[in-house]
Amino acid sequence: MAEILALGVLGQYILPSPAEPSTAGAKVENLEREARAVLEKFQRGEIQWRDLPRQLEDRGIRPAFLGVLMLQGLAMAVGALSLIALAALRAFGVRLKPRGNWAPGTPWLPLDAVEAVLCFGCAQLVLGTMVALLLRGSHELGVEGLRPEHLLLIYVVAAAVTLGLLSRRTAGGLRRLWHAARVRAAPVLLRMLQGGGGYMAALPLLLAARYLNPIGDDPLSSNPVISMLMARRSALDWILLFVVIGLCAPVFEELLFRGCAYPAFRRRWGVGVAVVASGLLFGAVHGQLAELVPLTVLGIVFAALYETTGSLVPSIIAHSLQNSITLLQLMWLSG
């Protein structure tokens, strides 16, 4: 474990940085400005409804992208109303609890969970460094030089190393981790509704967290992965990115942070501390200072969803929706 941590820290300095600063933030700001100009003309009656899609396309904005934003805004409003309703219910002494016993705890201690999270993060750094060194001499280096198949390989191997560490800590631990997910504990439709509700409830909290975030710069400008995602890519590249970001990441990260770390913290310190601690761990391991507060809030929402439903399936669905819709928006922005 000490060798993995040392290599991970070293990898932050070995991994070459992109030659030019990210332009993702500037591109998004420009598109927002163009969209605002078109909508202002539409409100003044200078543009007819039937001409609105053509006007947006002429300015480099896909109408589908604007439609997704409008649907996301509607989901955010529903989520805000749901949070208000939950707050009102709590004010009147009504508490929503899952039926039956909560999901069984996993056998690891808090230190085991933290070690597994550090192993996962450092394994990605080490593997990313190795791939970048193998690509040295190509036209691009650093995170922006990695291709989707590289990301898939790095993520799968890092997840396998982490699961191997957990299995060595406790015999039969992985079987208990899967059992704690309680995949078949409720109808699929109910889990889908719970996951969709959790995603909608997270949207207004994420907006508030980004607006009030006192740490870091614009996440679009400070995150080199965003610039990599906004590069023009083939259909196969985007399919691989959706597999990594929209499927693999939600499943494994929910198993790790909510299935392993959260029950260990909950058993030791109680629900409140466990929710916040697992959220902080989730935000910190992503390694982006500008996104620490929003990702921590997102982790807290996922932990609360797991605590409320007693299953990891709703939090996996909510996590997948968040990642997939964000990736879809970046795909449309990339042109």
List, for residues 28-85, the tens digit of each pLDDT value. Answer: 666 667 777 777 777 777 777 677 677 777 766 666 666 666 777 788 788 888 878 7
Closest CA to 330 of 21, 55, 41, 22: 22
- CA dist 31 and 63 (Å) reads 12
- CA dist 306 and 282 (Å) reads 14
- CA dist 181 and 279 (Å) reads 18
pLDDT at 18 over 60: no
Q: Where are the alpha helices (DSSP H) in 98-244?
A: 110-134, 148-169, 173-181, 188-212, 219-222, 224-229, 235-241
pLDDT digits (tens, 9 = 90+) for 219-256: 554 555 666 666 666 788 888 889 999 999 999 999 99
Query: Under the phi-then-psi rule, with left for phi > 0, alpha for psi from -120 to 50, and beta for the rest, what region is 22?
Result: beta
- CA dist 240 and 81 (Å) reads 36
Task: Name the DSSP letter for residue 36.
Answer: H
Asked if residue 309 lies in contact with residue 301, where contact means CB atoms within 8 angstroms, the answer is no
Q: Which residue has the higher pLDDT, 267 or 290?
A: 267
Residue at token pair 């909560």: 102
- CA dist 202 and 299 (Å) reads 10
Domain ranges within the chain, ordered by starting residue: 23-103+182-333
What single letter denotes the amino acid at residue 73? G
- Per-residue exposure over 261-279, b if at least 16 CB sit within 10 Å of its own CB, e if not: bbbbbbeeeeeeebbbbbb
> What are the φ/ψ torsions at residue 245 (nearest 5 degrees)?
-85, -35
